[in-house]
Amino acid sequence: MLNSITLLASGAAVAPGVIVSMMWIAIAALASPLLSFLTGKRVPGVVFMLLLGVLIGPEVLDLAHLDGSNALLRELGLGMLFLLAGWEIDPDVMRGRQGRRATGTWLLSLGLAVGAALLLLGTDDLLRSIVLAIAVSSTAMGTLLPVIKNSGRADSPVGRGVLVHGAVGELGPVFAMALLLSTRTTWLTLIILALFMGGAMMVAFLPRTVSRLVPWVGHAVRDGASHTSQTVMRMVIVLLTTLMAMAAVFELDVVLGAFAAGIILRGLVPVRARKTVEARLDVMGYGLLIPVFFITSGMAINVREVLHSPWAVVVGIIVIYIARGLPILLVERFTDTGSGIRGFRDQMELSLYSATGLPIIVAVTEIAVDRGLLGEGRASVMVATGAATVLLFPMLAANVHSHVPAPEYPGDEEERRRVENDIEAEAVEYRSGKSADSTESGAGRPKPRPKSSTVSDDEITIDSDED
């Protein structure tokens, strides 16, 4: 017994290779934002995490390896990425016209992608066609969040549009994977999804119910929120792991549980406390877990397969934009989606951002490989294609924003004239008031000589009146 305790205390139970791999992953996580800064943040840090993951992985320098410990952190990182994506969802917006149009646009993208895949692969490869369609119709909302925030576009119509299309482009593929790629029958899958959503609702109501029935628990949580106890962040971890575990038990993709955790968390946190909680979520997520996910995703890419078929990556990038970005551009261009985006520049930006995909591509290819629908080589090419969209599409969107003229909205000229008229009216009113004051003061007392702040009273100067 004593020997076992000594062994655990010395850390000898952990293989040295695990710690060394984690060290290189941590170095890559730190180096990524530094390299992004050197490029003027034109290349997102996520891209460098993927590239450095490839570099330190077994395919290139062989410095770090995927093992059980890293795999667990990677899974938690994926969950945290989707939790933050769910946290950004505004249910009122999703229920509105913009959310409905975004859902319709995604369904259009999925239908076009399935049809194109069937034409290429034939009707005998229906499941493989569905895999490809789900992959190319997704949006990497969690990946785009730091990119949008760093560009200062989070509160713009484009930023809000990316959140809406991103939510649909992540949640839709997750449900599609559960329904279309499940080994169960469709009706049984629907029952399991309903059971999962019922369980998620029970989890959502549990904290407030406990707080009402046992008031001291709520007081204890609030008391430890800002101390070393960090009760709120521990509750976040409990919520995340509970819903991910529930999804895993129901044999659903764990990202569904993580996304639900983010939506539930937003509803539980009071509006006045959201900025504080969001800052702590960013620290917990972007400090460790999310970088581990992206770096290990890069480590899993089969570089030789990608180099063997580079044109497949190029074609994949084009297909992803046609399947996901182009429908968004056309719908925004020719219909009123309620987004407030009318200029070609902003519409093009939105389509490029929304066509960026990686986490769903990683998830769907893993399912396809496990079921024998895709080989390791083709899956690596698809992941590399998703990584390339993370590199190219945000950069193209930034270039469009910089070089294409800003949109002129129909109400801009009227608004400008209205503001100018208001300013002129205020100026006239001010001058009238000053004139009346001067008349009244002149009738009652002699007007004082102007004072100077630069010379003495014995000198003569021209200066402003103190009035």
Q: What is the pLDDT of residues 49-90, one digit of tens each?
A: 989 999 999 989 999 988 777 888 999 998 998 898 888 888
Residue 416's Cβ-side half-sphere holds a number of Cα atoms within 13 Å equal to 5
- Please give the pLDDT value at position 355: 93
- Please give the pLDDT value at position 352: 94
Helix 186-213 with 231-249: angle, nearest 10 deg = 160
Q: Which of 334, 453, 400 is nearest to 151 (CA)?
A: 400
| pLDDT tens, residue by residue, 260-278 | 999 899 888 888 888 888 8
| pLDDT tens, residue by residue, 25-58 | 999 999 999 998 898 877 778 889 989 999 999 9
| pLDDT tens, residue by residue, 144-175 | 887 887 777 777 888 889 989 988 998 888 88
Non-local (6+) Cβ contacts of 24 within 8 A are 56, 63, 64
- Please give the pLDDT value at position 445: 53
Contact predicate 232/221, CB 8 Å:
yes
Contact predicate 133/117, CB 8 Å:
yes
- Please tell me the distance from the alpha carbon of residue 114 to that of residue 129, in angstroms, as a whole number: 6
Give the pair of three-digit tokens for residue 314.
Answer: 């190029």
Contact predicate 84/262, CB 8 Å:
yes
Q: Strands (DSSP E) along 76-190, which ranges? A: none
Q: Which of 258, 270, 261, 266 is nearest to 218 (CA)?
A: 270
Three-state SS for 341? coil
Asked if CATH classification 1.20.1530.20 holds for the domain at 14-66+73-406, the reply, yes or no, is: yes
Ramachandran assignment for 380, one of left (phi > 0), alpha (psi -120 to 50 degrees), beta (any other) = alpha
pLDDT at 460 over 60: no
- Please tell me the distance from the alpha carbon of residue 467 to that of residue 448, in angstroms, as a whole number: 10
| pLDDT tens, residue by residue, 389-415 | 988 898 898 888 888 877 665 555 555
Q: Which of 244, 247, 250 is nearest to 188 (CA)?
A: 250
- Please tell me the distance from the alpha carbon of residue 47 to that of residue 67, in angstroms, as a whole number: 23
Which ranges in 67-156 belong to alpha helices (H)?
68-87, 91-95, 97-121, 126-136, 141-150
Q: How far apart are the first and last CA of the chain?
A: 89
Domain parsing of the chain, residue ranges: 14-66+73-406
Non-local (6+) Cβ contacts of 53 within 8 A are 25, 28, 294, 295, 296, 297, 298, 299, 301
Residue 326's Cβ-side half-sphere holds a number of Cα atoms within 13 Å equal to 12
Q: Which amino acid is at 230?
A: Q
Contact predicate 270/232, CB 8 Å:
no
Which ranges in 342-375 belong to alpha helices (H)?
344-354, 359-370
pLDDT at 182 over 90: no
